[in-house]
Structure 1
Amino acid sequence: MGISKRTHLSKTLLKNTKNPSFSWHFFKHLISSPSSNPSPQSISSITQILASAQMLSEIDELHHLLLHRQPPEASRLSLIALAQSSAKSGLLDKALSQFQSIRTRFPAKPPPIRLYNALLEASVKENRPEFISVLYKDMLADGFSPDTYTFNLLIGFFCELGHLDDARKLFDKMPLKGCRPNEFSFGILARGYCRARLSFQALELLNGMRDFRCSPNQVIYNTLISGFCKEGRIDEAERLLEQMRNDGISPNVVTFNSRISALCSVGEIQEACRVFRDMQKDNGMDLPCPNIVTLNVMLDGFCKGGMLEEAEDLVKSMKKDGVFTEPKSYNIWLAGLVRNGKLLEARLVLEEMVEKGVKPNTYSYNIVIDGLCKEGMISEAKSVMGLMRSNRVIPDTVTYSTLLHGYCSKRKVLDANRLLHDMMRDGCFPNTITCNILLQSLWKEGRILEAEKLLQKMNERGYGLDIVTCNIVIDGLCRRGKLDKAIEIVDGMWHHGSAALGDLGNAFLGLVDDTYSGNKCLPDLVTYSTIINALCKAGRLDEAKKKFIEMMGKKVAPDPVIYNIFIHGFCKHGKISSAFRVLKDMEKSCNPTTRTYNLLIQGLRSKQQIDRIHDLINEMQQKGVCPDIFTYNSLINALCEGGRMREAASLFDEMVQRGVFPNVSSFSLLIKAFFKACDFGAAQETFEIALSVCGQKDALYSLMFNELHNGGRVSEAKELLEISIERSIDIEGFSYGCLIEVLCKEDRLEDAHELLNKMIDNGYILDPASFMAVVDGLGKVGKKREADKLADKMMDMATHREESNHMVAKRRYSEKESSHRQLSEDGVGESNWRSILHRDDGSGLAMKVLKRTQKGWGQGSVLSLQPRKNDFVEDWEDTG
């Protein structure tokens, strides 16, 4: 076949790409002639057509045909074209099989380097490191020197893995192998350094480019500028921008978009806004104008930074300019509204999109559904799915999985199961993520048999059992007290991946070992955190330390969470010196968090080492770690336990000045301490301040009432209960039954009777036992009719209580007011103190009243203490 005919064949094939079956039969008919000699170009064309149509058996047939062609050299060239095209089409396994045929049939003539490069590139794309190593060694054994393209591929692969030392070694080896690094080599390695937040090392590369006669280009400058911005090194980024201009390279819109995006990603929204405003101004600086990418990046930055007013202004400006027309822009705005709790506004934006002819996509609806589910508004999320269907947008696996997670988080497993059936009925099949959501819910519900069946089904139906699956099972075992079995599975994962779950029992022995898939499930940081946390809770601290050492040996880097687990474990068992030793080691690899210090403060509180708590709070502030409400509540609790209530009261002023607002727990601690000290006047004044700062919280009223009653101040308790009834306070936490009984014993039957009637008249469903003392009292004084009437009400109340078991005013209860939590081993209970921030009279009133309280209760603020020197042992363990 002549050159013109071979070219004609390629053109004919390309014209018939939409009919792959015809193309294949046409090609096979032409090459069946002994005189035919298909060109590598035509073989590449037919291979691409067959690969796109997933006609894999036909590719195997083509492989067989080409393998037996004559002369041998024509067969060799054809097979090279086939293997190269298969690799580029993403058929790595077939390409390697074809490559092996070439090596076997033509051992004296190794394949060309371009084929090695194609196979290496395909191996990199499919993340198959085992093939990369074999191919590279095979290339060297054949006497080939890797070319620049080969080196660039391998350097990029190592950078993606985060193995920058290996990438740098290859880069440095290039001149030794006769390859001169080009601008792509420098750019690839520079991007790797910048992603690892090592921008100064990338800068060294830029400065060394001229040694290899390479000129810096826009790409590498943009990479470096973005890298320095992400590291918060704004001055260095600005200096590079000037250097870029001095090199005669004009910054383009990509440069500025990179800067803005990087600044937003590290929370430097104001600086990003300054750059954005400069681009908008025509001030002779020859800056590029913002494009839609710039606008979207800035909008995303405003939304993530909580700057909704600025975001809304930008949206209005984009609408005015006619550029707010793409689903991507709307989706950014939707996500911003949802993130900032503006769910109603987000719903309206969805409707606006439909009205404006900008069709919301599945992602648009999923944003809103996810936000509603996270707020526990599952029925509203379900209605958005209905809206989605009415607008002919098909829910996807993410939609269903989000709703499933919502149901499971509400412990509505039956509803979740029904939704799963609906999902499959609609032809939307679960994936591993969906199954993991259900699996985790079943473990938490204690429905172990169902969880095990689900695990079996996941394996049988080919859903990958990923590391999340393994971690769910390991966590479930730890929660059930089967810690040793969990450890056994973790040990097995290093050898068998997810197949180690087969150790759960005979039902799981068929789990597939994914060793050869290239994606073996190996224990990660979550795995070790789960095991170490369980060991610490069980008091097996030595074993926890051994697991930590094992983790480090396996190159699993620790994070603040795992250090906090150890600190909590040591503090819980009274080993404070060991906990501080962990802090010292932690500072070598990662920054301590507010929780880190809170755990240490609670440990010191258990030892009543109040002065050291003060020192630790000062240390936090010196290191830029902000104390939070838990920090101060721990100190308040320690001071109150030590009888130092006046110091605790003075601390409130310091809190407010530092932007940490007292919550219900803060005041509760102080009120209880004053009652314990029989300082009822101070307790009453604190209660009034608490109501002004925190609002009319049920927990505050119940605490004050119970403390008054327990302190024998019956009249004040009765008066507070009457005020609570008038204000429709939930009295479920009040010991009102005891008060009624005391009133009856003190011959105040009329007061008790009147109090009962007042509660009934205001719609409260009471404990029937609280009626008994009054009914008996009325009977004893001869008021039988009134006693019988009250007894009838008691019976009615018992019936209603069985049905509802809470008051008619349950709407307030449904708001999840859980502010009256006590101190626990994990820290002071947290109330919904964010509402304080939105109170018009919150901080200002708090400052005034707290200062007045200080004057009334005694002067003095927290003493300034000299730092204490602590002697730490060399190991984390000590004698406590």
Structure 2
Amino acid sequence: MERAAMLSKAVYLNSKSPELAWLLFKRVLSSPISASSSFFETSLQSIPLIARILTTAKMHPQIDHLYQLLLSQHRDFAHPSGFALVRALADLGLFENAISQFRSLRDRFPNDPPDISFYNFLLRCSLKESRVDFVIWLYKDMVFAGVNPQTYTFNLLIRALCEMGYLENAREVFDKMSEKGCNPNEFSLGLLVRGYCRAGLHYRGIELLDEMRSSGAVPNRVAYNTVISSLCGEGQTGEAEKLVERMREVGLSPDIVTFNCRIAALCKSGQILEASRIFRDMQIDEELGLPQPNTITYNLMLEGFCNEGMFEESKALFDSMKKSETHLTMESYNIWLLGLVRSGKLLEARLILNEMVEKSIKPNLYSYNILIYGLCKYGMFSDARSIIGLMRDSGVAPDTVSYSTLLHGYCCRGKILESNYVLREMIQVGCFPNMYTCNILLHSLWKEGKASEAEELLQKMNERGYGLDNVTCNTVINGLCKSGNLDKAIEIVSGMWTHGSASLGNLGNSFICLFDIGNNGMKCLPDSITYATIISWLCKAGRVDEAKKKLLEMIGKKLSPDSLIFDTFIHSYCKQGKLSSAFRVLKEMEKKGCNKSLRTYNSLIQGLSSKNQIFEIYGLMEEMKEKGIFPNVYTYNNIISCLSEGGKLKDATSLLDEMLQKGISPNIYTFRILIGAFFKACDFGAAQELFEIALSLCGHKESLYSFMFNELLTGGETSKAKELFEAALDRSLALKNFLYRDLIERLCKDGKLDDASFILHKMMDKQYRFDPASFMSVIDGLGKSGNKHAADEFAEKMMEMASETDINQHENKIIRGRSNNDDERDWHKIVHRNDGSGIAQKTLKRVLKGWGQGSISTSQPQKFSTHDCWDGVA
């Protein structure tokens, strides 16, 4: 006995040296002294200790050796020590090893099973590990071994059967418990009722409660509360109320748990007004004996109001909680913080954080992360960074969620450089990226077209042992499609069915080492998002036949296409003008039980619009109205376009009025359609009125001004075009889309040299950089009229501007690696034209002297790559 105690002590003292502890245990157990029965009994206590040491050190081969060593001892020791090792391994989380060794022990000692407490322990571990299949095996082994189960054993079995969906078998076990001398208790009933409710079989749960009542047994509140909560969650509040009354009939007064279950379920299903009514009754109706709301009740209602966007109600409730100070907790503050952030009230959220500190309710990590999320959502990154500093000052260390939220905000705004700084800081403080962080970066890099950096990031993820998930694979597939490598993406999808995420090795990153045939959970098989991505890009590329094959492949793999995939086909066919094919897909979509969405209708209306089938369009609009699907601006734009093309301008403008009445804001494209149609009909007055309306609704946008200007110029309204162009210059709008050269040439042609000169001077005063060729018609006109001084001044300015243009153009060519002969500017052609006047050539020769060349900058921007942040990280 003393030697065994010394063994335990020696093993414990050497626990920091696992190899030495194992060597010591193995030698002592193999020595002759270990043959004594007293040594066996006492040394049993060393088995959990040596098992924990080997498990912590990940010495798994030694664990298997330990098992074989124990079995090699005398039978009287091998049997209890083997089961002791099974218990120890299960406690340490090595459940698969425990199962394997337990099966081996039962084969070795078939007539000497462990007691019922050991079976209960394994049953409990099996449920914890979601291995309900092993629960069934254990129960059968108990029956064959003649071990009598307890009520607790049956409860574990009922729970396992319910989780597997074997409700009939669970009911059979429940009914036969009494035959085995184990009467069902309140937990047995509660487990079975919960199983029925989770399967949506509320009526079966109610029937079971009624049977219990008929047999003289009174079901407990837990069973009733379970059914009530489930009924409320399904929106069956009437049935829930009836069940509450039946509780009272059997002498069970609904307690606070009952009411909280009802309120929680109602809030979750969006029935906030019904939940509010019950909450109010609990507060004021003491005569009915209703329980008073507790902290959980208040928090449930506060969260319900916030989730539904009922800001005034949630604020009033929170203020009342602050006033009473009875029900105000950290959770209450966090719920309110999230509500404020979702409502965009970031200043108030920041003040609440200060208030928490004043009231000695120290904000926790979740509190700070809520505020970081809100600030990043609205692009207030410097404030979000300051919150991270505040966290450190308050003794709260930012976690992966804090940094990932900030990083996600930067990535969504395309701020790759800033996101890299966050990543570097994150790693430097020892907060290492998780799978979610890496997927954010990966998505951002593909979005920015940085394919090589994305692939390098994948390599870094592989080197650091990140198991790629479906989000990663789908991000890579979408990125490849976006970057034009559609065939490579298709190849990866095909490979995923065999190799899972290892199929990404086709990118050249040697990911085949990630493939583990024994780990089906990490195989990353293609899902509906994968196929939706591939099908969408195939349709965009016009490869609809290949997309159809992918759809068939998807169905063959037991993946059901959703409305989005069907919409993709409908949109593609409508865009190609194949309306009959689009409607065939629509019928198939309806057969599969997929509902038509606004996107479906918009695609069909666009297709019908291209064919001028206005009556069919109106039919679809009526159908949308019946289904409660509201049209948007794109719906109206398609119909307005169809009507305008057909010359039905009165109907088209009436739709504009209808949009405004329904609160649907027209966009710039709406007005461009209508203005263009009125110009085509030579109704310039109506076009001008629409332009004024467009400015009031859409603002003074360059696209509106340039479109109206170009239409006026094309329609011969030179004077109005000039006025509009001057207004655009006054607003400093960009000139890229204005046909200003045509305006200047037309003014010169009409003999309005002063107006043309004024336009040029105004453009120069505003410091616009415009085409130097714009000067030529004015120079020619001034030369012909004898105003050589003014012509020379314009020519000098033209040469100066042309010189700057050439230098910038030359720099761009060098940067892009293009030849010097590419993209010759129009002004070169005009200068060297030969129209008989010779004025341009003569004028230019006088100012050629002093033409400078300038220099080309050789400085390069500093490079900063995402994968650089990972260097030196273990």
TM-score by length of 2: 0.77
Q: Which moved more, 1:735-744 or 1:177-186?
A: 177-186
What do residues 229-263 of structure 1 show as CA deviations (whole Å, max 9, x unaligned)? 33333333333333343343333333333333333
Alignment of 1:458 onto 2:475: no
Instruction: Specify every segment of 5 or more residues in structure 1 that has no aligned partner in the other structure, as ranges.
Output: 806-880
Partner of 1:365: 368
- Report the residue type matching 2:716 in the other structure: G
- Report the residue type matching 1:568 in the other structure: H
For the pair shown, the structure with the greater C-alpha radius of gyration is 2
Secondary structure at the aligned position of 1:225 is classed as helix
- Match 1:661 to one of 658, 665, 676: 665
- Match 1:702 to one of 696, 700, 706: 706
What do residues 766-824 of structure 1 show as CA deviations (whole Å, max 9, x unaligned)? 5555455445545554555555666677688789999999xxxxxxxxxxxxxxxxxxx
Q: Which moved more, 1:100-109 or 1:32-41?
A: 32-41
- Match 2:105 to one of 102, 105, 115: 102
Rate the CA distance shift 1:696–1:456 in 2: closer, same or farther, 3 A. closer
Rate the CA distance shift 1:615–1:122 in 2: closer, same or farther, 3 A. farther
Rate the CA distance shift 1:788–1:153 in 2: closer, same or farther, 3 A. farther
Secondary structure at the aligned position of 2:454 is classed as helix
CA contact (8 A) 1:83 1:115 kept: no
CA RMSD of aligned residues (A): 4.6
- Counterpart CA distance in 2 for 1:243 and 1:741 is 91
Alignment of 1:235 onto 2:238: yes
- Report the residue type matching 2:615 in the other structure: D
Q: 1 or 2 for the larger relative contact order (CA 8 Å, sep ≥6)?
A: 1
CA contact (8 A) 1:315 1:324 kept: no
CA contact (8 A) 1:66 1:78 kept: yes
Partner of 1:739: 743
- Report the residue type matching 1:510 in the other structure: C
Task: Tell me how far 1:382 sits from its aligned partner.
Answer: 3.3
- Report the residue type matching 1:458 in the other structure: M
- Counterpart CA distance in 1 for 2:205 and 2:552 is 33
What do residues 578-620 of structure 1 show as CA deviations (whole Å, max 9, x unaligned)? 4334444444534333223222222322332222222222222
Secondary structure at the aligned position of 2:437 is classed as helix
- Match 1:515 to one of 514, 518, 522: 518
Alignment of 1:567 onto 2:570: yes
Summarize the alignment of residues 433-444 of structure 1 with structure 2, pairs less than 5 Å apart: 433-444=436-447
- Counterpart CA distance in 1 for 2:387 and 2:555 is 46
Task: Tell me how far 1:92 sits from its aligned partner.
Answer: 0.9
Partner of 1:824: none
Partner of 2:431: 428
Secondary structure at the aligned position of 1:284 is classed as helix
CA contact (8 A) 2:71 2:82 kept: yes
Task: Tell me how far 1:466 sits from its aligned partner.
Answer: 1.1
- Report the residue type matching 1:235 in the other structure: G
- Counterpart CA distance in 2 for 1:66 and 1:213 is 53
CA contact (8 A) 1:40 1:77 kept: no
- Counterpart CA distance in 2 for 1:658 and 1:201 is 47
- Counterpart CA distance in 2 for 1:214 and 1:706 is 87
- Match 1:339 to one of 342, 347, 357: 342
Task: Tell me how far 1:625 sits from its aligned partner.
Answer: 2.4
Task: Tell me how far 1:727 sits from its aligned partner.
Answer: 5.1
- Report the residue type matching 2:710 in the other structure: N
Task: Tell me how far 1:42 sits from its aligned partner.
Answer: 6.7
- Counterpart CA distance in 1 for 2:147 and 2:206 is 32
CA contact (8 A) 2:44 2:81 kept: no
Partner of 2:626: 622
- Match 1:677 to one of 671, 681, 698: 681
- Counterpart CA distance in 1 for 2:392 and 2:693 is 52
CA contact (8 A) 1:502 1:511 kept: no
- Counterpart CA distance in 2 for 1:564 and 1:34 is 76
Q: Which moved more, 1:377-386 or 1:432-441?
A: 377-386
- Counterpart CA distance in 2 for 1:556 and 1:153 is 34
Partner of 1:686: 690
Partner of 1:289: 292
Q: Which moved more, 1:458-467 or 1:752-761?
A: 752-761
Instruction: Specify every segment of 5 or more residues in structure 2 that has no aligned partner in the other structure, as ranges.
Output: 810-874
Partner of 2:402: 399
- Counterpart CA distance in 1 for 2:675 and 2:336 is 45
Count, aligned residues: 792
Task: Tell me how far 1:207 sits from its aligned partner.
Answer: 5.2
Task: Tell me how far 1:463 sits from its aligned partner.
Answer: 0.8
Alignment of 1:721 onto 2:744: no
What do residues 370-404 of structure 1 show as CA deviations (whole Å, max 9, x unaligned)? 33334444444334434434444322222222333
CA contact (8 A) 2:446 2:454 kept: yes
Task: Tell me how far 1:132 sits from its aligned partner.
Answer: 6.3
- Counterpart CA distance in 1 for 2:379 and 2:795 is 41
Summarize the alignment of residues 200-279 of structure 1 with structure 2, pairs less than 5 Å apart: 215-279=218-282
CA contact (8 A) 1:155 1:168 kept: no
Partner of 1:576: 579
Summarize the alignment of residues 476-875 of structure 1 with structure 2, pairs less than 5 Å apart: 476-505=479-508, 507-513=510-516, 515-516=518-519, 518-587=521-590, 588-726=592-730, 733-759=737-763, 761=765, 770-774=774-778, 777-778=781-782, 780-783=784-787
- Counterpart CA distance in 2 for 1:763 and 1:199 is 76
- Counterpart CA distance in 2 for 1:297 and 1:792 is 77
Rate the CA distance shift 1:133–1:669 in 2: closer, same or farther, 3 A. farther
CA contact (8 A) 2:455 2:509 kept: no
CA contact (8 A) 1:407 1:413 kept: yes
Partner of 1:878: none
- Counterpart CA distance in 1 for 2:304 and 2:341 is 14
Secondary structure at the aligned position of 1:493 is classed as helix
- Counterpart CA distance in 2 for 1:779 and 1:624 is 69
What do residues 286-307 of structure 1 show as CA deviations (whole Å, max 9, x unaligned)? 3333333333332222222222
CA contact (8 A) 1:47 1:82 kept: no
CA contact (8 A) 1:536 1:544 kept: yes
Task: Tell me how far 1:524 sits from its aligned partner.
Answer: 1.9
Task: Tell me how far 1:464 sits from its aligned partner.
Answer: 0.9
TM-score by length of 1: 0.77
What do residues 489-543 of structure 1 show as CA deviations (whole Å, max 9, x unaligned)? 3344334332333344573332332533644322222122222323433444455
Task: Tell me how far 1:420 sits from its aligned partner.
Answer: 2.3
Secondary structure at the aligned position of 1:661 is classed as coil
- Give the share of equivalent positions with the same residue, in percent: 56
Rate the CA distance shift 1:493–1:135 in 2: closer, same or farther, 3 A. farther
Secondary structure at the aligned position of 1:35 is classed as helix
Alignment of 1:474 onto 2:483: no
Partner of 1:829: none
CA contact (8 A) 1:20 1:53 kept: no
What do residues 421-442 of structure 1 show as CA deviations (whole Å, max 9, x unaligned)? 2222211112222222222333
